[in-house]
Structure 1
């Protein structure tokens, strides 16, 4: 079940955040994420967060307006539609979504490409000095009239 963030989710979300970053970004020194842990923990409640709760939090997406500040799924729940479902939830609330992805994180780039995102820019991340791409998805919201979608 996808639901909105609750304060009781914070520790589970932070565990997913730390493990997910260390797994997906093995080219970055793990100390970088540990040093940013407390800052992220403070910022999480200020974002719009949706969690996938299946007997506990197995994934979450964090949004700052239409920017995806994080999408993490626990390792054992990956490739089962959790990330797609969380992204779909975000698409329900926005006409456009943006996300930065490290160029070395080809799994994430391929995931977003499969979800109708396109690469629209490249830059160097100021904190890590690693190259990243900016990806954008323009979301089409269909108007439903009766049983038909227009």
Structure 2
């Protein structure tokens, strides 16, 4: 059973661990240097400055998390040990229950994430050659009404 709750400051270390493990499992196009670059930003700036929806099991241990700005999903990361168990879908469904439509940007090279979002009814509305950091990792802009 997955329950969704808001993050607390005590969740930050495990949310970073989930981010790190998920990126290693799904972002195979990144080098070690790329991962280190993004890890510093995520750990030191992004996670401490935002509130997240956290999917937890019966033991209240985080299985994944989702960050949003308005109706845009900014981050969705699931512990790889829980991939394919409905955690990501539960978080997206939770986000959809608070918004009339959803948008998300996803790395084009992350084929698993692209397939996941398409399965949930998202479609491509745009594409950028560079990511938000100006690095050459194309981004697909997806939307779901």
TM-score normalised by structure 1 residue count: 0.84
Larger Rg: 1
Counterparts of 1:43 and 1:70, CA distance in 2? 10
Ranges of 4+ aligned residues in structure 1 off by more than 6 Å:
none
Select the structure with the greater relative contact order (CA < 8 A; seq sep ≥ 6). 2
Counterparts of 2:47 and 2:97, CA distance in 1? 21
Aligned: 1:137 with 2:140 = no
| Alpha-carbon distance, 1:73 to partner | 0.9
How many residues are paired up?
138
Q: Report the equivalent of 1:16.
A: 18
Q: Relative to total residues, which structure has the larger strand share, 1 or 2? A: 1
| Superimposed CA distance per residue, residues 61-119 of structure 1 (whole angstroms, 9 cap, x where no aligned partner) | 11122221111111111111100000111111111211111222111111101111111
Q: 1:134 to 1:104 in 2, by over 3 A?
A: same
Aligned: 1:62 with 2:59 = no
Q: Report the equivalent of 1:91.
A: 96
Contact 1:59 1:83 in 2 (8 A): yes
Q: 1:125 aligns with which of 126, 130, 136?
A: 130
Q: Report the equivalent of 1:50.
A: 53
Aligned: 1:31 with 2:33 = yes
TM-score normalised by structure 2 residue count: 0.87
Counterparts of 2:39 and 2:69, CA distance in 1? 18
Q: Report the equivalent of 1:80.
A: 85
SS in 1 for 2:91: helix
SS in 1 for 2:98: coil
Counterparts of 1:70 and 1:30, CA distance in 2? 20
